[in-house]
Amino acid sequence: MLTKKDRLVYGTYKLPSNYDDFLSIVGNLFSSGVEWIDTAPMYNKGLSEKWIGKITKKFPFKVATKGGKFYSGNKLKVSLNYSFLSNSFENSLNILSTDKLDAFFVHNYDNSTTKEELASTLEKLRSNYSVNKLGVSNFPPKLWQFLAKERLIEIIQFENNDICDNSKQVIDSKKFNLECWTYRLFRKGKR
């Protein structure tokens, strides 16, 4: 059983092949003490948010979702303008069948958005929507540190794997009193 200091999050980047298997997995996770599910509208072509929206009444997980990163045809794109992110936020609320998000991450950085534009977007999101925690996912350290100094985010998220050891970012996040979520993709047969 997990203790309160443990922070495991079930990431739904990849889903099992059917809903019944998903239901079994989340039931086991919930009974083991996992409190969070992480998703994004682009995960599994929207299926992740749909399935999570179905199970949160039975298993009241805290849900973190994202906005900003999307597919246009076969190309992966990022848009961090307020209009796009607010639309993504509203769609996620709808699909997840809730009126408030536990956490919302701006998903990946695009070099065409200035830090001031991003700060303004985060301020508007916070004032116009009900969200417990705002964060950024896969942002460069200088940018998330700027946002943390401005008190615009409470969480950062980034990949931690054999190629990119981000332990310095974990340490730095503590200096800014941020929650730090690291993720590691699991590949078939490997950790």
At residue 186, the pLDDT reads: 59
**How many of the other CB atoms lie within 10 Å of CB of 108?**
16
Q: Under a CB-based contact definition with an 8 Å cutoff, are residues 63 and 39 in contact?
A: yes
Q: What is the pLDDT of residues 64-86, one digit of tens each?
A: 999 998 888 888 888 999 999 99
- pTM as predicted: 0.88
Rg (CA), the chain: 16
Q: What is the pLDDT of residues 33-69, one digit of tens each?
A: 999 999 999 888 889 999 999 999 899 999 999 999 8
Ranges of residues in the chain with a pLDDT under 50 are 1-2, 188-191
